[in-house]
Amino acid sequence: MTYKAPVRDLLFALYEAAGFDRLSKAFPDADAETVNAVLEGAGVFTADVLAPINRQGDKDGARHENGQVFAAPGFVDAYRQFSEGGWNSLSADPEHGGQGLPKAVEVAVFEMVQSANMAFGLCPMLTQGAIEALAAHGTPKQKAQLLPKLVSGEWTGTMNLTEPQSGSDLAAITTRADPAPGGGYTLNGQKIFITWGDHDAAENIVHLVLARLPDAPPGSRGLTLFVAPKRLINADGSLGEGNNVRCASIEHKLGVHASPTCVMLFEGAKAEMVGAPNQGLAAMFTMMNSARLQVGVQGVGIAERAYQQALAYSLERMQGRSAWTGAYPSRIFDHPDVRRSLMLMKAKIEAARCICLSVAVAGDIARTASNPVDRDAARFRDELLTPIAKAWSTDLGVEVASAALQIHGGAGFIEETGAAQHYRDARILPIYEGTTAIQANDLVGRKTARDGGQAVRELIADIWPTAAALKSADDAWLHTIGARLEDGIAAVQASTGWLIERRGHAQPDALAGATPYLKLIGDVVGGWMLGKLALAASRKIAEGDGDAQYWRTKIGLARVYAEQVLAQAPGLTHAVTQGSVDLFRATPEALGA
């Protein structure tokens, strides 16, 4: 099916929910006209170039032949157009050839990239993370040598963490880094699940690798970050011979077939240290946090693509009698439950979109605000919402892709319709870059308990005015949204207090409630975002601004979300506060082992 870039929805979310106008001083060139033009251009590119090769890429996949990896059909040319169009350089520093736009604009663009073709989008997504890590931790020489090529898209970047014995437990990494006689280091080890670890779309690949020095302390404290290019780089910047790093195989996966997921072998590969010895995990977290937000954006993107296909199918499929008109046969769109499902899907997509854009705006403020108080406040908000953006949005991606398949009925279970691909592609999202449980533990342990819940209290303080404005509105629908949002706030307050109390002396209880707590906050923050959109839409209607049906639908989506999602928030408090005693008593034998 065709893909229609949701540029109007993105712009509305960017300005009315994410607070993009707060960036006007730091980014004077990113005015409304420029941002509109960038997003419109990205919409055309993603719809015309990336979307048409998505289905064939899923069918054919990447290939590993005679020690080489070949991208799926059409991907090499699409990547060339992507790089030449400047889409790889949006937020990068102009010093290295970037355009210097806010990260929030890049996130909006990349939602469309991921929606049109997620397997393709994974390649520049990892490159963006490599750019940020090297910009923050690289030496002047590394920055001068590597960043212009990565920013232009001539080279791509990867993140090499996982090993066969070390999944999410990075403390178990064994890849070795030995000082080389002529300077630098040699890397020896195996890395698995390396996204776009090898391919033929770019002339060089810059591998960022976690490894251990000979005298490294045990555990995660002994990890150091290294950079090892696929092809060595001469002193004048030209490419030399191949490095001793190769792809041993590519994985046969449930989805994202066109994204080569590689087993990488470092066999005496020449490398340079990035950052300080034994400080690699802190340096790599720069790249990981970038990736976590972008993976959340992938969840939004794949949900949008699945939703669009389900909506189109519901308008084409004739079956049954319309509940409103009695017409027979009718479009399944005219069955109340189908329309309810579609509206709930779209409402959740818009909520997740706003959350991800808000994180990006907070990150931009944290980097550029002149006032240190504003920088710190934005940084804390960025850190608090990042695990929610990653986990809540990716769980939503799977949920919406599943609901979209359900609307297709039996046809959705047939590969030819394409609905199954979105579900298969989405399923990896809650797993890689830190599972939902890992994000939830981070939210509870590091982001909530570290300051006694202050970051959450500040978040709630920001949500209250929206709830109050909704409740005081003359529109009864807005009042309902505000009332449900207030109930959600109360649920977050009760759950947060319980978790902080248990975190101090009964950690298993807190960890047992972490995942429902993340869902609870995600649901409430999503309701807050939709509430802001509903208030803005109401204002547009009052002002006679444009398409009244579009604005009324925004209010309807917020109300559907309030009644279908926010109404469940008080019940989630019970899930958060259940404790761990039942889990402790459940032995393997009792569970059927």
Write out the catalytic residue numbers.
433
- Token digits of residue 82: 């992507």
175 and 161 Cβ atoms separated by less than 8 Å: no
CA distance 169 to 181: 32
Read off φ and ψ for residue 252, nearest 5 degrees: -100, 105
CB atoms under 10 Å from CB of 501, counted, come to 13
The reply to whether omega before 329 is within 30° of 0 (cis) is yes
CA distance 229 to 316: 50
SS3 content of the chain, % helix, strand, coil (to 5): 60, 10, 25
CA-only gyration radius of the chain, Å = 24
SS3 of 219-263: the string is HHHHCEEEEEECEEECCCCCEEEECCEEEEEECCCCCCCCCCEEE
110 and 268 Cβ atoms separated by less than 8 Å: no
CA distance 402 to 551: 28
SS3 of 286-344: the string is HHHHHHHHHHHHHHHHHHHHHHHHHHHHHHHCECCCCCCCCCCCCEHHHCHHHHHHHHH
